[in-house]
Amino acid sequence: MKLQVMKFGGTSVGDAECIARAAKIIASAARARSVVAVVSAMSGVTNRLIAAAHQAATGDKAATNELAAALSTQHAGAIDALIKDESRHAKLSAEVQQIIREVAALCRGTALLRELTPRTLAAISSAGERLSARLLAAALCELGLHGVAVEASELIITEDDSAQAEPLMKETRERAPARLLPLVKDGVLPVVTGFIGATAEGILTTLGRGGSDYSATILGAVLDADEIIIWTDVDGVLTADPRLVMDARLLREISYNEAAELAHFGAKVLHPKTLRPVADAGIPVWIRNSFAPEEPGTKITRTGHPTESGVKAITAISNVSLITVGGRGIVGVIGVAAKTFTAAASVRANVLLISQSSSENDICFIVDSGDAERTLKALKKAFASDLVHHNVEHIRVNPGICIIAAVGEKMRGTPGIAGRLFSALGKRGVNIIAIAQGSSEYNVSFVVEASVMQSAVAAIHEEFDLGRRSIK
Ligand code: ASP
Ligand code: MG
């Protein structure tokens, strides 16, 4: 029998009505195939848990009580609306209260010690999935199906990293199918907690914020699933942000590479690591809207659906800053780039784009605006003596910019795309500050003033006819 792994994001299980809708989606899929569900915390819950944990670390005990009350209200309210069967209601309520008590105990311990260790934070922040998985499993039982909540700490084995754990695929392949497949064979619908893993020794870890997508593809890969569906609150991947381009269209099929570029570059539909586990096996991943399940969604496959123009989608990232290290004295000097990026790394600034022209008069790169101040300080320190001797003449930050990227697998090896792209911008009078194209050629990125972001995106969208043509 075919197997589908379905993941429901936070908004797709945001309240009782959404959970009921998710249960119906699973029920209808389960008529024709086996289904393993993966679930995020109800929307807002993870943020709330993390905020309360940090509050507790300051010694604040009241925050813990507020957290427990809020979790209780939210989940108990959903249980009341969803679960009519009395004994199921009582059992589920008891389990939910028990998890909330555990979280509150962890927060109180944190407040007493005024210390939040990474392990404690992982235990606290993962409670949302442990709650939502039980709710969704019970909602399936209400429909007469056999839903069972399963803790991913029994399934996904990871390295020992509480906050951003990498899965150990070999170990996970030994563990997860042995636990899940017998359930599936018995007609059970497992509902697995997203976001969570555990070390081989059983210490709980988390896969990083938004990591439930990753949980779904890790499980899909080790279960040799036929497909994976990521149910979310948008119709799929669009040719551009519809807030910037009115005639943005849904892309029916894109490749893993295109999806990875888009996930990185602003269209944050997927956790960036999501496609890694399934790319080798070529398992298709769908992005679909749980609020509009009749919509077809976007299918992500190995080859995608190549379009003639090569460009498939355009993304824009704002809230980023351009940092320039420049001066005649850096020309031909070995180690300037190394020093620049070592400084950025030393303050954990993530570098989004790099550009240096062959004249070597300056190196520029882009970081999140939130990281810019720190990075500037670190650079000034690293280049202190070069600044004194005017080898480096300036280190500047420009926060008023954005990155725009044109993405498409078929851009690779197709001449003329960059030419069309930049002349379309030229015709609209858009000035380009910096350009970068990785040698993968799936992505041409450039930097413009933030004030012209919309007209730049619209110009390229129009040039490559992305809106009008029906995109396959
Ligand atoms: N609940 C986690 C988060 O908010 C994981 C997820 O939603 O994918 O980051
Ligand atoms: Mg989420």
Backbone dihedral angles phi then psi of residue 232, each to the nearest 5 degrees: -140, -160
Query: Residue 412 has what pLDDT?
Result: 83
Q: Work out the angle at residue 92's Cα, subtended by the Cα atoms of residues 89 and 97, and round it to the nearest 5 degrees.
A: 120
Q: Where are the beta strands (DSSP E) in 28-186?
A: 34-39, 147-150
Cβ neighbours of residue 376 closer than 8 Å, sequence gap 6 or more:
323, 395, 397
B/e letters for 86-124, b = 16+ CB within 10 Å, e = fewer, are eebbeebbebbeebbeebbebbeebbeeeebeeebbbbb
Sheet of 394-407, strand order:
351-356, 362-368, 313-326, 394-407, 443-449, 434-437
What spacing in Å lies between the alpha carbon of 201 and ligand 2's midpoint?
A: 27
Query: Does residue 274 contact residue 263 with C-beta atoms inside 8 Å?
Result: yes
Report the atom number in ligand 1 closest to the C-alpha of 208. Answer: 9
Question: Ligand 1, atom 5: nearest CA belongs to which residue?
Answer: 210
Return d(Cα 63, Cα 56) in angstroms, integer.
7
C-alpha separations of 25 from 274, 300, 345 in Å? 22, 20, 44
Which ligand lies nearest to the CA atom of residue 50 in the structure? 1
Q: Work out the angle at residue 264's Cα, subtended by the Cα atoms of residues 119 and 441, and round it to the nearest 5 degrees.
A: 140
Query: Residue 469 has what pLDDT?
Result: 54
Cβ neighbours of residue 334 closer than 8 Å, sequence gap 6 or more:
none
Return d(Cα 399, Cα 378) in angstroms, integer.
17
| Dihedral, 284, 287, 289, 292 alpha carbons, nearest 10 | -50
Query: Residue 275 has what pLDDT?
Result: 93
Report the atom number in ligand 1 closest to the C-alpha of 10. Answer: 7
What spacing in Å lies between the alpha carbon of 190 and ligand 1's midpoint?
A: 19
CA nearest neighbour of 53 among 135, 131, 109 = 109
Which ligand lies nearest to the CA atom of residue 132 in the structure? 1
Say which amino acid occupies 130: R
Determine the average pLDDT of the residues in 360-372.
Answer: 91
Is 439's pLDDT higher than 80? no
Question: Ligand 1, atom 6: nearest CA belongs to which residue?
Answer: 210
Is the Cβ atom of 194 under 6 angstroms away from ligand 1?
Answer: yes
Strand partners, 324: 364, 396
Report the atom number in ligand 1 closest to the C-alpha of 213. Answer: 8
Backbone dihedral angles phi then psi of residue 84, each to the nearest 5 degrees: -95, -30
Mutate to test the pocket of ligand 1, among 204, 205, 209, 233 (most ligand atoms within 8 A of CB): 209
Report the atom number in ligand 1 closest to the C-alpha of 215. Answer: 8
In 3-state terms, what secondary structure has residue 321?
strand
DSSP code of 167? B
Is 472's pLDDT higher than 60? no
Is the Cβ atom of 210 under 6 angstroms away from ligand 1?
Answer: yes
Is 205's pLDDT higher than 80? yes
Q: Where are the beta strands (DSSP E) in 279-433?
A: 285-289, 298-301, 313-326, 351-356, 362-368, 394-407
Q: What would the pLDDT profile of 12-49 be if each residue is shown by its tens digit?
A: 999 999 999 999 999 999 999 999 999 999 999 999 99
Is the Cβ atom of 43 under 6 angstroms away from ligand 1?
Answer: no
Is the Cβ atom of 197 under 6 angstroms away from ligand 1?
Answer: no
Tell me how far the alpha carbon of residue 107 is from its chain's centroid: 27
Helix, strand, coil proportions of the chain in percent (round to 5)? 45, 20, 35
Is the Cβ atom of 132 under 6 angstroms away from ligand 1?
Answer: no
Is 357's pLDDT higher than 60? yes
Q: What would the pLDDT profile of 51-73 be if each residue is shown by its tens digit?
A: 999 999 999 999 999 999 999 99
Question: Ligand 1, atom 2: nearest CA belongs to which residue?
Answer: 210
Q: What would the pLDDT profile of 381-428 be if each residue is shown by its tens digit?
A: 999 999 998 888 999 999 999 999 999 988 888 888 989 999 999 999
What spacing in Å lies between the alpha carbon of 316 and ligand 2's midpoint?
A: 21
Q: What would the pLDDT profile of 254-312 be if each residue is shown by its tens digit?
A: 999 999 888 766 556 788 899 999 999 999 999 999 999 999 999 999 999 877 778 99
Q: What would the pLDDT profile of 221-249 be if each residue is shown by its tens digit?
A: 999 999 999 999 999 999 998 889 999 99
Cβ neighbours of residue 90 closer than 8 Å, sequence gap 6 or more:
none
What spacing in Å lies between the alpha carbon of 46 and ligand 2's midpoint?
A: 8
Q: What would the pLDDT profile of 299-356 be if each residue is shown by its tens digit?
A: 999 999 877 778 999 999 999 999 999 988 787 778 889 999 999 999 999 898 999 8
Return d(Cα 29, Cα 31) in angstroms, integer.
5
N residues, the chain:
472
In 3-state terms, what secondary structure has residue 445?
strand
Mutate to test the pocket of ligand 1, among 50, 121, 192, 195 (most ligand atoms within 8 A of CB): 195
Q: What would the pLDDT profile of 136-183 be if each residue is shown by its tens digit?
A: 999 999 999 999 999 999 999 999 999 999 999 999 999 999 999 999
